[in-house]
Amino acid sequence: MFIDAPTNGQEPERLQASDTPAAAVGKLAVGNVGAACVLGQIMRDPFSGLMILMDLECIGLRGEAIWRLYSDVHAMELDSFIRHVKAQAGEARLLGA
């Protein structure tokens, strides 16, 4: 559905348990300012925000794909975007992805 973030021929850097919230946002935003803004809004609640960041990691959304899903598909409605991400992550876990 979305294109992967550019990685210069390498796999994207995965989130680690030792990552700070800022580092996790940076890894998922991959330099995309729009994605960083969305992720910053999500991190207003640090605990649930980290869970949503892990859901994004689970479904492989990064950078521009985050921004496009938020802005184009969900018309910048954060709650709708979060519900979508949680649903996709739940489905991915059920399918063993």
pLDDT tens track for 53-90: 999 999 999 999 999 999 999 999 999 999 999 999 99
Q: What pLDDT is attached to residue 2?
A: 37
CA-to-CA distance for 95 and 77, rounded, in angstroms? 27
| Residue 26 scores a pLDDT above 80 | yes
The token pair that represents 69 in the structure block: 């899903």
User: Structure pTM?
Assistant: 0.84
Neighbours of 54 (CB within 10 A): 13
First to last CA, the chain: 16
CA within 13 Å, CB half, 18: 0
Indicate whether 25 pLDDT > 50.
Answer: yes
Convert the pLDDT of each residue in 27-40 to its tens digit.
999 999 999 999 99
Task: Work out the number of other CB atoms within 10 angstroms of the CB of residue 29.
Answer: 22
The distance from CA 58 to its chain's CA centroid, rounded to whole angstroms, is 9
